[in-house]
């Protein structure tokens, strides 16, 4: 472990301050404004959203413009070939809605569709690379559904998409982060000539500071602006998708694309110390287990236990164990499997789980509980809030960086590899079935204050680490009274039901040593490690009437405001 850095010392000093949303802008990531704030994984995308707000658009208009721009500016993480989830609560809506545009399994998919070698692994890594790894994409359908049903109607579809089109034409800057990702995924990129033609120079990574243009993606987005979702799900581009996927071993058909449906879900809801949590239901596991974790921790005085202390980190470790054990047993697409949502988000069930936690030692083994008795019957993220109390959170993905590697020739976009999010064998609640949506950890979340007023919109990329990251930032704000940027920057922890407790490198050496003495097996990761996600959030201080945006220095995020 390193000595305490200047930045870490500043955070330590700030953690002693009383709650106040004063600017904490280490790394230059935060923003504040009185009209609207957008926090996204690329500064250029955040600015796109703010520009839409300035033109009179509402939070949904800004979010959709930002989302399409992210598909261009951060092509390694999301885009037309992927899917995701969106949480929306406009000021005039009594209840929030979840727009589910997650990918679905093709009609020809089956629980035993993948072949396994003698080593027990999928032959040829087929769940990750190539056409058989791709589910039917939902992004364009989902984003346009939200725009048409919840947008202001003051701006046309063409106006919303124009910034993304412009970025595809003029090219995106190669950052340190993007350069690193291209280098790490170079073998996959070069396996597919169409992908290599866009994201390499003769098979070699673009250098930091260079520009990557994608004129084919600009043309695709122009067709979406003109023809709506049919530009992707019917006609020439649909045929190109099918041809590209089939050529690389996949099974998506034109009928699969034409039949894709956006689904409107009722959010899972809970509370944490008086704040209302509104989040994403299955086929995402994220919202349910964010609530479950916070419910467990509500049985402990986290504020009194202290920020980053051995007692607090131990409580987080054990709560994460319990929640991930339940996730493994119960979670899947609720259209196909009965999921005990009411039980998993029950305060009574959480109290039962909390009673299993020994404050002095970690649990050796963890098995899923029985929530049924409480029943009554590398991704990207952006957050938007405006002065009228409109709230939007979108998490979207093509799964692994650069997805399946299959870039559809002539279109500029990469197909997802979200079939890997299924269990690739029969017998699991999350096994493959035609039309089923693979289990996700995406957790776009809205938080209301104890008076039921808009307070925070939040989410993160990072696979299963999303769940812990979102819950930890909420706790940092509520329990430790941190300003939103500090809450995002604070060191994080993560663990599954088994395996090591992962600590970010800035966690105190004294805390690490104390946890090891308690019996925790620990892995220490980097000081600012993207493993722990990339949270983007907006918080409204109603007393000051100021919106504060926070963005994560673990990735390329930055908030913008006016």
Number of residues assigned to the chain:
562
377, with CB counted inside 10 A (0-12, 13-18, 19+), is: exposed
Task: Give the span between the Cα atoms of 135 and 440, in whole angstroms.
Answer: 13
Alpha carbons within 13 angstroms on the beta-carbon side of residue 501 total 27
Q: Is the dihedral of CA 73, 422, 392, 140 positive or negative?
A: positive
Q: How far is residue 140 CA from its own chain's centroid?
A: 17
Nearest CA among 299, 289, 292 for reference residue 351? 299
State the virtual CA torsion across 203, 206, 210, 213 in degrees, nearest 10: 50
Q: Find the helix packing angle between 465-478 and 286-297, rounded to 10°.
A: 40
The span from the first CA to the last CA of the chain, in angstroms, equals 40
Q: DSSP letter string over 75-120?
A: TTT--TT-EEEEEEE-TT-SS-EEEEE--B--TT--TT-S-B-TTS
User: Tokens 């479950």 map to which residue?
Assistant: 292
Q: What is the number of other CB atoms lying within 10 angstroms of the CB of residue 351?
A: 13
* DSSP one-letter code for 70: H
Q: Clarify whether 312 is annotated catalytic.
A: no
SS3 at position 286: helix
Which helix (H) or strand (E) is 279 found in, with range?
strand 275-279
**Angle, CA of 60, 550 and 279, to the nearest 5°:** 55
Q: Determine which one of 140, 379, 380, 445 is catalytic.
A: 379
Task: Give the span between the Cα atoms of 560 and 499, in whole angstroms.
Answer: 38
Task: Give the span between the Cα atoms of 254 and 408, in whole angstroms.
Answer: 14
Which helix (H) or strand (E) is 501 found in, with range?
strand 501-503
Task: Give the span between the Cα atoms of 247 and 415, in whole angstroms.
Answer: 13
User: Which residues are catalytic, by number?
Assistant: 379
């Amino acid at each position: 472990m390193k000595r305490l850095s200047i930045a870490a010392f500043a955070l330590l000093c700030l953690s002693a301050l009383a709650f106040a949303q004063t600017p904490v802008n280490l790394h230059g990531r935060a923003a504040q404004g009185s009209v609207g704030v957008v926090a996204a994984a690329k500064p250029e995308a955040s600015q796109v959203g703010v520009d839409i707000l300035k033109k009179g658009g509402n939070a949904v208009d800004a979010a959709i413009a930002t989302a399409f721009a992210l598909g261009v500016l951060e092509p390694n993480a999301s885009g037309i070939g992927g899917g995701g989830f969106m949480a929306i609560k406009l000021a005039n809506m009594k209840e929030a809605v979840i727009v589910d545009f997650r990918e679905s399994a093709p009609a020809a998919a089956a629980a035993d569709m993948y072949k396994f070698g003698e080593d027990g692994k999928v032959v040829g890594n087929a769940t990750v690379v190539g056409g058989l790894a791709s589910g039917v994409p939902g992004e364009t359908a989902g984003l346009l559904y939200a725009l048409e049903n919840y947008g202001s109607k003051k701006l046309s579809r063409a106006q919303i998409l124009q910034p993304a089109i412009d970025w595809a034409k003029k090219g995106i800057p190669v950052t340190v982060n993007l350069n690193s990702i291209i280098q790490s995924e170079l073998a996959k990129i070069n396996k597919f000539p169409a992908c290599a033609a866009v994201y390499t120079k003769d098979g070699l990574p673009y250098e930091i500071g260079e520009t990557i243009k994608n004129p084919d993606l600009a043309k695709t987005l122009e067709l979406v602006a003109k023809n709506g979702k049919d530009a992707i799900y019917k006609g020439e581009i649909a045929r190109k998708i099918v041809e590209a996927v089939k050529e690389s071993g996949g099974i998506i058909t034109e009928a699969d694309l034409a039949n894709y449906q956006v689904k409107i879900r009722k959010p899972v809801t809970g509370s944490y110390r008086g704040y209302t949590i509104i989040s994403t239901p299955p086929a995402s596991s994220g919202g349910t287990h964010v609530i479950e974790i916070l419910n467990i921790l509500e049985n402990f005085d986290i504020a009194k236990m202290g920020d980053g202390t051995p007692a607090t980190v131990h409580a987080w470790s054990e709560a994460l164990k319990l929640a991930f054990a339940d996730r493994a047993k119960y979670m899947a697409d609720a259209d196909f499997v009965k999921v005990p949502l009411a039980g998993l988000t029950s305060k009574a069930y959480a109290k039962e789980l909390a009673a299993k936690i020994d404050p002095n030692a970690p649990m050796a083994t963890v098995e899923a509980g029985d929530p049924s008795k409480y029943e009554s019957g590398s991704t990207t993220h952006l957050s938007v809030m405006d002065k009228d109390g409109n709230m939007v959170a979108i998490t979207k993905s093509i799964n692994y960086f650069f997805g399946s590697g299959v870039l559809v020739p002539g279109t500029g976009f990469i197909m997802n590899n979200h079939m890997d999010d299924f269990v690739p064998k029969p017998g699991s609640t999350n096994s493959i079935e035609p039309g089923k949506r693979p289990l996700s950890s995406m957790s776009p979340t809205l938080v209301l204050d104890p008076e039921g007023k808009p307070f925070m919109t939040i989410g993160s990329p990072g696979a299963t680490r999303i769940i812990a990251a979102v819950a930890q930032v909420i706790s940092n704000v509520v329990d430790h009274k941190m300003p939103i940027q500090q809450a995002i920057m604070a060191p994080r922890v993560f663990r599954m039901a088994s395996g090591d407790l992962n600590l970010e490198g800035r966690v105190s050496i004294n805390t690490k040593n104390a946890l090891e003495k308690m019996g925790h097996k620990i892995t220490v990761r980097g000081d600012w490690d993207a493993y722990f996600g990339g949270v983007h959030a907006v918080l409204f201080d109603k007393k000051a009437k100021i919106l504060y945006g926070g963005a994560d220095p673990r990735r390329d995020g930055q908030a913008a405001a006016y």
